[in-house]
Amino acid sequence: MTTDVQGRALAVLNRVAQADWPDRLKLRKPFERLLYSGSRTGFRLASERAAKQPKTPRKADPDGLFDLSLSDEQQMLVEMLEGFAAEVLRPAAHEADAKASLSLELLAQAQELGLTHYGVSEVHGGMAGERTVVTNALIAESLARGDLSLAAALLVPLSAANCIRRWASPQQQARWLPAFVGEEAAPLIAIAVNEPQLLADPLRLSTKARKRGSSYTLTGEKCLVVRGVDAQKLIVAADAGDGPALFLIDTRAKGVEVRAEPAMGLKATGTARVRLKGVKVPAEQRLAAERFDYQAFLDHTALAWCALAVGTGQAALDYVITYCNEREAFGEPISHRQGVAFMVADIAVELDAMRLMVWRACALAERGQAFHREAYLAKLLCAEKAMKIGTDAVQLLGGHGFTQEHPAERWYRDLRAVSLMAGGLHL
């Protein structure tokens, strides 16, 4: 992190710390600790660079293990976002689900967090550097402890920044990324991959992009586009003839039709159906990284949803433990019953397995190593166990689990999306 980047990081953190809501929500202390930690580490790294100390490449552990410890900055970030999730997202989740929209107040508070800085590289004014994938997974997991749907909605700008930083050419990055770290709100760019066909395969896209001269013509249909209703632009996955490709298009362009597509879960995300009818897209709007890897793009997307599943699963575990210890039947807490205790223990076991698989895949990805196998296994495990955790949480609450008085029924609906989503977010 250079001195300039250190200054930008402190500016972001200061903006958060100077807001009024951290005091109201008793989050001032985590912010101050994060400011101190960021300042200390940033000046240390700047001094190291000034001394021109050569960097030694990170070596793989000879035992094939990976480090589970978080850096001081990551730990402070997790504490801050978990506080935000508990004090801001959790209370707002029910109303956002009922209205199927995000309040302006919530969007303003999320903007103060400056999360998009973690998706923009240092050269373009952001803070994305080493351990970027793991840090992004921690952000998703921490926010999801408040509510999965709200977390997914708030992560869309960060996901777009990650996607552009990773898969756009240097010229495209220089043109598009600075807007994510400006004084104004980050542009809302939704990622459209899912298609409505029966047994749709994201590796065999029905959306086509035909090149004609200096432009492409896109035709096809996308479904379950997270925040697609409000998006200003879309990153669309399409078959370009020479393989799958990503295109940045304007939602107001001729031939683009966007309509709301309410679903069983993810209601607060404003999911949308997008029809592309001969949409003309300039060739320079095709994301053109030198080594574009569409499978890796899908794997980063899968890990984002897995991280959300882990965070929501942890919220469910914490909630049912408290509920089962306080709920009494036949003169004692229901947690004293083996059938209940074993079910809670199973959630804890499954959750730890999910977290380890996701962190392992993220650790490999940020080290530049092959991670497709680990991402695939994490997606399989999280898709299955997330639904089981949601089901068990409802079951443990009994009749209360069926009502909206408790968040378990919302978690149940949202967690089922983990097995369906092939786009929308990107670590």
At 374-383, the pLDDT tens digits run 999 999 999 9
Question: For 19-23, what is the mean pLDDT?
Answer: 61
- CA dist 6 and 126 (Å) reads 10
Q: Which residues of 257-294 are buried (b: 16+ CB within 10 A; e: fewer)?
A: ebeebebebbbbbbbbbbebeebebeeebbbbbeebeb
Inter-residue contact 144 to 311 (CB < 8 Å): yes
Rg over alpha carbons for the chain, rounded to the nearest Å, is: 22
- CA dist 133 and 177 (Å) reads 18
Pairing of strands 189-192, 233-239: parallel
pTM score, whole prediction: 0.87
Lowest mean pLDDT among 39-53, 160-174, 240-254, 378-392: 39-53
Question: For 240-267, what is the mean pLDDT?
Answer: 96
Exposed, middle or buried: residue 15 (CB in 10 Å: 0-12, 13-18, 19+)? middle
If one compares 19 and 184, the residue with the highest pLDDT of the two is 184
Which DSSP symbol is given to 183? Answer: S
Question: For 361-369, what is the mean pLDDT?
Answer: 93
SS3 78: helix
- CA dist 28 and 31 (Å) reads 5
Which two structure tokens, joined as six digits, stand for 236? 């669309």
Average pLDDT in the chain: 88
Evaluate if residue 199 carries a pLDDT over 90.
no
Question: For 322-330, what is the mean pLDDT?
Answer: 95
If one compares 46 and 412, the residue with the highest pLDDT of the two is 412
Task: Name residues whose C-beta falls within 8 Å of residue 157's C-beta, 6 or more positions apart in sequence.
Answer: 115, 116, 119, 180, 186, 187, 188, 189
Evaluate if residue 7 carries a pLDDT over 70.
no
Evaluate if residue 294 carries a pLDDT over 80.
yes
182 — pLDDT class (breaks 50, 70, 90): confident
Evaluate if residue 288 carries a pLDDT over 90.
yes
Which two structure tokens, joined as six digits, stand for 371? 């991670």
**What is the pLDDT at residue 202?**
94
Residue 289 backbone dihedrals phi, psi, to 5 degrees: -65, 150
Question: For 301-308, what is the mean pLDDT?
Answer: 98
**What is the pLDDT at residue 44?**
41
Q: Which of 229, 158, 220, 154 is nearest to 193 (CA)?
A: 220
Question: For 346-362, what is the mean pLDDT?
Answer: 97
Helix (H), strand (E) at residue 333: strand 332-333
Measured at the CA of 152, the angle between CA 150 and CA 156, to 5 degrees, comes to: 120
End-to-end Cα distance, the chain: 20
- CA dist 335 and 337 (Å) reads 5
Evaluate if residue 219 carries a pLDDT over 70.
yes
**What is the pLDDT at residue 57?**
44
Residue 237 backbone dihedrals phi, psi, to 5 degrees: -90, 130
Taking only the tens place, the pLDDT of each residue in 104-163 is 999 999 988 999 999 999 999 998 876 689 999 999 999 999 999 999 999 999 999 999
- CA dist 256 and 221 (Å) reads 10
Inter-residue contact 115 to 154 (CB < 8 Å): yes
Listing DSSP states for 85-105 in one string gives: IIIIIHHHHHHHHHHTS--HH
**What is the pLDDT at residue 13?**
56
Question: For 68-78, what is the mean pLDDT?
Answer: 88
The 3-class secondary structure across 288-307, one letter per residue, is: CCCCCCHHHHHHHHHHHHHH
SS3 332: strand
**What is the pLDDT at residue 70?**
87
**What is the pLDDT at residue 377?**
98
